[in-house]
A = this chain, B = another copy of it.
Amino acid sequence: MTEIVYLPQIKETIKKINLIEIIEEGFVAYSQGKVIVPPVGEMIFENPPGDCHIKYGYIVGDNYYVVKIAQGFYENPKLGLPSTNGLNILFSQKTGEILCILLDEGFLTDIRTAVAGAIAAKYMAPKEINTIGIMGTGMQAKLQLKYLKSVVDCQNAFIWGRSEESLRRYTEEMSDSGYDLQVTQKLQDIPRNCNLIVTCTPSKAPLILAKHVQKGTHITAVGSDTSEKQELEPKILRIADKVIVDSISQAQSRGECYHALQKKEIVKEDLIELGNMILEKTLQRTTEDEITIVDLTGVAVQDLQISKAVYKAVN
């Protein structure tokens, strides 16, 4: 019998799951070549503008496969509806049975992205973090800070936003986050004051310049998942000691690495895949003054792992 799980139950359930562990397992399987992720299905609508993406995949020999459907309709807020939505469908890889439909409304995508940010910091952030810098004030900017709590020991966070209003809302909603929050509208305040930075904006031009990045800084770039979006000056990837990506194949066509590869600031051979970094200590941060970058564009194995975990936890 197919289980239908709605958002409130999903939100309760993920509190009980060790998400870092299960998403790490997914990245490792991915980098070991055990994950099959066929090309993404896409429908683009014009009137009103919208899109639907279908991502699907599985770990060879696992008991499950997953189909995730995510849609974005950017005029929805005018109708009082959220602009993004989605569901995850979990199947048995042994019988094709539809085990579970997770009507998560896009929530699990937000969570698995935030968890990937925490994994990046766990291995790559310096030991002594003075202040965490967050670029952006949206949902992901909140979740990233929240999920960092479990992996880094720092109570100071500096938030950059484009407007006073968005910063005010951010600090209001995050008032019980356990962080001492400072805000700014000056871009350079973040790299000058923070040695663990997470960028989570839809920017199409660099927000952080190489000249502002201090030794010993770690940056996780979350916002860019297309070839158009960009948050870091490409030169930052050249001056970095290590550049980690969740998927080397995706990094060549999207995210910060795409821009840095295009500008020849780096070559493909410089890139280290996240799943390999997790397994290999020498690929992680080894000294306090390294500059390190983790560029995340999102892979279907994250959706697979989080869907499986929710399904198992409700059964």
Residues of B within 8 A of A67 (CB): 52, 54, 69
Tell whether A72 is near chain B: CB-to-CB under 8 Å: yes
Q: Is residue A91 contacting chain B, with contact meaning CB distance below 8 A?
A: yes
Given A85-B98, A98-B87: A56 in contact with B79 (beta carbons within 8 A): no
A85 to B39, CA, bound (A): 23
Contact of A38 among B42, B45, B72 (CB under 8 A): B42
Which of A54, A65, A96, A103 has the most chain B CB within a 10 Å cutoff? A96
Total contacting residues, chain A, CB less than 8 A = 39
Bound Cα distance from A184 to B123, whole angstroms: 71
Interface residues of A in 85-120 (CB under 8 A from B): 85, 87, 89, 91, 93-98, 101, 103
Smallest CB-CB separation from A93: which chain B residue? B45
Query: Of residues 234 to 255 in A, which have CB atoms within 8 Å of B's CB atoms?
Result: none
Tell me the nearest residue of chain B to A60, going by C-beta.
B46
Q: Is the interface of A mostly helix, strand, loop or mixed?
A: strand
Contact status A43-B58, CB under 8 Å = yes
| Nearest 4 pairs of A and B residues by beta carbon | A71-B96, A73-B96, A41-B41, A85-B96
Not counting A38-B42, A71-B96, a sample of 11 additional A-B residue pairs whose C-beta atoms are within 8 angstroms of each other reads A41-B41, A45-B58, A48-B94, A48-B95, A52-B96, A69-B89, A73-B94, A73-B95, A73-B96, A87-B89, A87-B98
Which residues from chain A sit less than 8 Å from chain B, CB to CB? 2, 4, 36, 38-39, 41-43, 45, 47-48, 50, 52, 54, 56-58, 61, 65, 67, 69, 71-73, 76, 79, 81, 85, 87, 89, 91, 93-98, 101, 103
